[in-house]
């Protein structure tokens, strides 16, 4: 039996176990998905221990996505983003990936949203913001990062410009600003991602409703609740909406496929994820 798992602190709230267990059941794979909760300064040590114990692969969540870089050989994308959330422990050294980036891309793709040539806006410059920015920069006409602290937004924009996930890909214009810059960017944007926690368990939105429009596709990384105020406002404006569970689902799908080499049973994983959310 293969063992996979999640390294984080805390992990008790994680939705990854039911999602991955559903995939194993659907395909008849003899595997289990377990959780590991090391001390806050022991992320890298946890990866080393998992490899020694024969764990086949792990996901990595807060606060360890940057820490575990020291314990893995990061793939190009993970190195560019500066964070790892999926590790293949079967290699020596373990190989680190960032499937959050792929999660953003596949969430839009699944809903038929074109990314090529788009004008994209990302709100937030933390971990989710980094994933979204690197995900959307390739092939986009432009990318704008807005953050409460404008300096952090500019740091992220500079990182995307200087070390794109794919050095051979075309990168459009990459700009940054404070949240006040949204008024000049969202009305003409094609894609919008909320990568902040604004709206999590509250009726708040980081983007004024008056900026939203029908030609926009909006992904909110928040998935509690599934329909945030931002998504309600976007739906009312006629925009395409993508809830945060899709991003969570597809980063898990990508991890599953890297570990097993099998096509993930997306419907089974999605059903399990949404059942757990309810």
Do 136 and 43 sit in the same domain of this protein?
Answer: no
Torsions phi, psi for 3 (to 5 deg) = -120, 130
Question: Are 132 and 214 within one domain?
Answer: yes
Q: Do 136 and 237 belong to one domain?
A: yes
Question: If you average pLDDT over residues 258-277, what whole number do you get?
Answer: 97
Measured between alpha carbons, how far is 169 from 58 in angstroms, rounded to an integer?
29
The verdict on 63 and 87 lying in the same domain is yes
Catalytic sites, residue numbers:
65
* Chain segment 213-250, per-residue pLDDT in tens: 999 999 999 999 999 999 999 999 999 999 999 999 99
SS3 state at 5: strand
For residue 165, the model assigns a pLDDT of 66
Domain that residue 168 falls in: 102-242
Contact status, residue 91 vs residue 80, Cβ threshold 8 Å: no
- My answer on whether 179 and 256 are in the same domain is no
**Portion of the chain with pLDDT greater than 70, in percent:** 99
The phi-psi region of residue 211 (left if phi > 0; otherwise alpha if psi is between -120 and 50; otherwise beta) is: alpha
3-state secondary structure of 40: coil
Same-domain pairing of 162 and 213: yes
Residue carrying the six token digits 């395909």: 27
Tell whether 9 and 140 lie within a shared domain: no
Q: What is the mean pLDDT of residues 93-116?
A: 97
Burial of 112 (0-12, 13-18, 19+ CB in 10 A): exposed
Which residues lie across from 121 on neighbouring strands? 144, 192
- Paired with 242 in beta bridges are 219
Region of 233 (left: φ > 0; alpha: ψ -120 to 50; beta: rest) is: alpha
User: What is the predicted pLDDT for the residue at 171?
Assistant: 83
pLDDT of residue 49 exceeding 70: yes
pTM here? Answer: 0.94
Residues 205 and 161 placed together within one structural domain of the fold: yes
Structure tokens at 181: 């810059």
User: What average pLDDT does the segment 3-15 reach?
Assistant: 95
The enclosing domain of 48 has a CATH number of: 3.40.50.10860
| Mean pLDDT within 201-208 | 96
Considering the domain architecture, whether residues 128 and 85 belong to the same structural domain is answered as no
Are 107 and 222 contained in the same domain? yes
What does the angle CA 162 – CA 165 – CA 168 come to, to the nearest 5 degrees? 85
**Token representation of residue 209:** 């409703």
Is the peptide bond prior to 225 cis by the omega test (within 30 degrees of 0)? yes
Q: Looking at the predicted structure, is the pLDDT value of residue 272 above 90?
A: yes
The CATH number for 182's domain is 3.40.50.720
Provide the 3-class DSSP secondary structure of residue 23.
helix
pLDDT of residue 15: 95
With bands split at pLDDT 50, 70 and 90, how would you rate the model's confidence at 87? very high
Number of domains in the chain: 2
* Residue indicated by tokens 């757990």: 276
Residues 89 and 180 both lie in one domain: no
Helices 244-260, 266-277: inter-axial angle, 10-degree rounding? 130
Tens digit of each residue's pLDDT (9 = 90 or more) over 128-169: 999 999 999 999 999 999 999 999 999 999 999 987 767 777
DSSP string, 215-242: T-EEEE---SSSS-HHHHHHHHTT-EEE
CB atoms within 10 A of CB 13: 8
């Amino acid at each position: 039996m293969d063992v996979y798992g999640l390294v984080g602190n805390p992990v008790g709230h994680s939705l990854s176990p039911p999602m991955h267990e559903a995939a194993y059941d659907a395909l008849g794979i003899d595997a289990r998905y377990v959780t590991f909760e090391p001390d806050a300064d022991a992320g890298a040590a946890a990866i080393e221990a998992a490899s020694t114990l024969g764990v086949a692969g792990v996901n990595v969540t807060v606060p360890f996505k940057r820490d575990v870089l020291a314990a893995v050989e990061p793939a190009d994308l993970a190195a560019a983003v500066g964070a790892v959330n999926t590790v293949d422990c079967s290699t020596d050294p373990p190989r680190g990936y960032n499937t959050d980036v792929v999660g953003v891309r596949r969430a839009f793709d699944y809903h038929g949203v074109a990314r090529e040539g788009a004008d994209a806006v990302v709100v937030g410059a933390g971990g989710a913001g980094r994933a979204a920015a690197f995900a959307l920069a390739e092939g986009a006409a432009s990318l704008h990062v807005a953050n409460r602290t404008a300096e952090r937004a500019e740091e992220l924009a500079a990182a995307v410009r200087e070390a794109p996930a794919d050095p051979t890909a075309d990168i459009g214009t990459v700009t940054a600003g404070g949240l006040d810059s949204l008024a000049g960017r969202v009305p003409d944007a094609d894609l919008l991602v909320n990568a902040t926690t604004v709206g999590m368990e509250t009726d708040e939105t980081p983007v004024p409703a008056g900026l939203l429009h029908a030609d926009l596709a909006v992904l909110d990384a928040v998935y509690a609740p599934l329909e945030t105020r931002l998504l309600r406002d976007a739906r009312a404006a006629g925009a395409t909406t993508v809830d945060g569970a899709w991003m969570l689902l597809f980063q898990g799908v990508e991890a599953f496929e890297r570990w097993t080499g099998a096509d993930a049973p997306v419907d089974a994983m999605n059903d399990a994820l949404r059942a757990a959310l309810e």
